[in-house]
Amino acid sequence: MVVSTRVSPVTVGLCIMLCLMAATVHGGEVDGMEQGDDGGHCPDGYILNDESCYRLEESSKTFTEALDTCRREGGQLVTIDSSEENDVVTELLLDARQPSTEWAWIGLTDRETEGEFRWLGSSDPPSFTDMSPVIGNDDTVDCVLITPEFGWAPLYCDGYAAFVCETSVIK
């Protein structure tokens, strides 16, 4: 899909919603536990990278529903603090190769103060960002999706999308 800079955020947002509605929900395949070098491991269904565990949930939920799901699994919507971690999460979406996983919630919002994006549970500005220069932000779109195609983009928090959970390695 080629998107010129003339495409409005509304058009892109509409496209996202249509794509999500058209997406078929697939059950996630559960991989075996991954062992870390130090003997740490991840919960079932999570992949290990560095000191964290990640899981892409392919079924679509609102931002709040997604966060609740991650918390029930002992984690949080993913926080991305470096380009390396951004690559890990992007690869998860690309590997899934599902229409529903072209976009996924991450734990970033500007719900508190418009234009000031913060990771959930943090009051500090992000140390790393991949916010799309193409997709606009206003006070109707406060929750952030990661997209392999455009980087990060805010959407309506009650929109539906896949999402990525992050948990600590189990020692």
Segment near Ca ion (CB under 5 A); pick from 10-18, 75-83, 117-125, 156-164: 75-83
At closest approach, how far in Å is the CB of 166 from Ca ion?
5
**CA neighbours closer than 13 Å in the CB half-sphere of residue 170:** 13
Burial of residue 37 (number of CB atoms within 10 Å: 0-12, 13-18, 19+): exposed
Instruction: Please state the closest distance from residue 99 (CB atom) to Ca ion, in A.
Output: 26
Question: Per-residue x/- mask for Ca ion, residues 103 to 132, rule CB under 5 A?
Answer: -------x----------------------
Q: How far is the CB of 145 from Ca ion (least distance, A)?
A: 12
Among the candidate windows 24-32, 54-62, 77-85, 99-107, which touches Ca ion by CB under 5 A? 77-85
* Helix (H) / strand (E) containing 72: helix 63-72
Part of the chain binding Ca ion (CB under 5 A), chosen from 1-9, 95-103, 133-141, 144-152: 133-141
Name the residue with tokens 């390396």.
84
The interface mask with Ca ion, positions 21-60, x = CB under 5 A, is ----------------------------------------
In terms of phi and psi (left: phi > 0; alpha: psi -120 to 50; beta: otherwise), the region of 63 is: alpha
Pairing of strands 52-61, 104-109: unpaired
Size of the site for Ca ion (CB under 5 A): 4
User: Is residue 90 close enough to count as binding Ca ion by CB under 5 A?
Assistant: no
DSSP states of 1-54 as a string?
Answer: ----TTS-HHHHHHHHHHHHHHPPP-PPPPPPPPBPTTS-B--TT-EEETTEEE
State the residues that interact with Ca ion by CB under 5 A: 79, 110, 137, 142
